[in-house]
Chains A and B, each alone.
Chain A
């Protein structure tokens, strides 16, 4: 069952029923789902969760929809890996990587979309919609197919072919918009007012955002029901980051983990870092930016939850880190070469930020650190393609192979006895 009680304005605290709405009618502040924590505390146990499915829906009690009605394509319960090699290289003895590349459409967006689509169906919407340059579009298209709903997916007209395929294959109405980022933004905002569709990150956003909490739940459960000392999370709208923090706090309130004051650090690329820029100014006032970075999945110049991310950063004692595009590419390669995980650019941002935090002495070697890797690298191959060529080019003969190898390595490896 769901213990969701109502929606509450994050600014003025006004309370609303669980309807498809996203801003407070009074102050236009964002709405958030509130749960009956007293009832949850009485009925939710570790054992109850452990008996659930091996997916994000094992935490259905902590989400705003009952487990029986969910639209699920197999999302969640992704691996939490001890990153021993990367940790050794960086000087972190207890480093873990939450590998959310392994979701059905290869990014964490499946978590939020699964909740949004479930609620959209419950609210009797017939059509899903979103505006996206990649991961969100893929996930909405896939979930609409699974739910038997129509889907409109708005994408910039100049989007790379590879990203178009990842959405088009599921059969949505894919709308290529010939306009700037701001124009696409404005158009979709107006469309959401005009058409009775479930725009996943607009009118059902309060529910959509809750899906991200499952990352925190999974990490704690996979660590043997303990919270990390430090989380490093990529920042785009700031929603993922704030919801992971909310998830950690909920588990502590419910007595499922011990509260250990987890520090929440967030990472962006310098080409679009409005949250980190405000953090560096020690301000809660975000200055919107025009994105210019290869980390397109994080390129939100005017982040809806930026203010709340800054509050969580300040409250938890975390850090904001911005890294260059070159560091992002190095981060992608470092994670792949040390842990065998090919992440998209957001993962490169996280690994580069991890390195920076260690170098600046902001991460202790004994801290239990979790780095959140939120999307798979095959989606953004262009970021690293130019730097990755075959190591050797040879003719089909052993002589050619050995000549090329000795030129490169100086000596040949041992042969069979």
Chain B
């Protein structure tokens, strides 16, 4: 089993959607929320995904296709 720590950033129109619940329902993934900040116009959630690496990749791809930005918890690491 693999683990990946990620940050989901939700645009306003997706804040009320139960995306993390759908992710764990439709993919063989354990979602473990560690930190979050959700306001009425936007929100972010830092969580750990646990499952087979291929399943994590499929799940993350599905989240991205829904319109959620997915980043490593460390933020952008390509520096100038």
- State the majority secondary structure of interface residues on B: strand
Q: Which residues of A contact B44 (CB under 8 A)?
A: 285
The verdict on A188 contacting B75 (CB below 8 Å), with A29-B35, A285-B37 known, is no
Give the residues from 263 to 318 in chain A that come closer than 8 angstroms, CB to CB, to chain B: 285, 287-288, 296-306
| B46-A28 in contact (CB<8A) | yes
| A288-B78 in contact (CB<8A) | no
Name B43's closest neighbour in chain A (CB-CB). Answer: A285
Give the interface size bracket for B toward A.
20 to 34
Partner of A201 from the list B48, B71, B77 (CB cut-off 8 Å) is B77
Q: Which residues of B contact A363 (CB under 8 A)?
A: none
Q: Which residues of A contact B72 (CB under 8 A)?
A: 185-186, 189
* Cβ proximity bits B31-43 to A, threshold 8 Å, 1 near / 0 not: 0001101010010
Q: Which residues of B contact A188 (CB under 8 A)?
A: 77-78
Partner of A298 from the list B9, B48, B80 (CB cut-off 8 Å) is B80
Name A181's closest neighbour in chain B (CB-CB). Answer: B78
* Cβ proximity bits A8-37 to B, threshold 8 Å, 1 near / 0 not: 000100000000001100111110000000
The verdict on A28 contacting B34 (CB below 8 Å), with A188-B78, A288-B71, A303-B75 known, is yes
Give the residues from 5 to 64 in chain B that come closer than 8 angstroms, CB to CB, to chain A: 5, 9, 34-35, 37, 39, 42, 44, 46, 48
Name A163's closest neighbour in chain B (CB-CB). Answer: B80
The verdict on A285 contacting B74 (CB below 8 Å), with A133-B80, A201-B79 known, is no
Q: How many A-B residue pairs have C-beta atoms within 8 angstroms? Tell me.
A: 96
A322 at the interface (CB under 8 A from B): no
Name A205's closest neighbour in chain B (CB-CB). Answer: B74
Distance in Å from the Cβ of A21 to the closest Cβ of chain B? 11
| A11-B42 in contact (CB<8A) | no
Distance in Å from the Cβ of B50 to the closest Cβ of chain A? 13
| B76-A27 in contact (CB<8A) | no
| A296-B75 in contact (CB<8A) | no
| A136-B79 in contact (CB<8A) | yes
Residue of A154, A156, A302 most packed against chain B (CB within 10 A) = A302
Q: Which residues of A contact B66 (CB under 8 A)?
A: none
Partner of B77 from the list A26, A27, A189 (CB cut-off 8 Å) is A189
| A27-B74 in contact (CB<8A) | no
| B74-A296 in contact (CB<8A) | no
| B80-A135 in contact (CB<8A) | yes
A202 at the interface (CB under 8 A from B): yes
Give the residues from 98 to 151 in chain A that come closer than 8 angstroms, CB to CB, to chain B: 109, 130-136
B residues within 8 Å of A by Cβ? 4-5, 9, 34-35, 37, 39, 42, 44, 46, 48, 69, 71-80
A residues within 8 Å of B by Cβ? 11, 22-23, 26-30, 109, 130-136, 154, 156, 181, 184-186, 188-189, 192-193, 199, 201-202, 205, 236-237, 285, 287-288, 296-306, 346
- Told that A11-B35, A185-B77, A299-B80 touch, could you supply 6 new A-B pairs with CB distance under 8 A? A28-B48, A133-B78, A185-B72, A193-B4, A300-B76, A301-B76
Listed by A's residue number, 24 A-B pairs whose Cβ atoms lie within 8 Å are: A27-B46, A28-B5, A28-B48, A28-B73, A109-B79, A131-B78, A154-B78, A184-B78, A185-B77, A186-B72, A189-B72, A192-B77, A201-B74, A237-B75, A285-B39, A287-B9, A288-B9, A297-B80, A299-B80, A300-B75, A302-B76, A304-B74, A304-B77, A305-B75
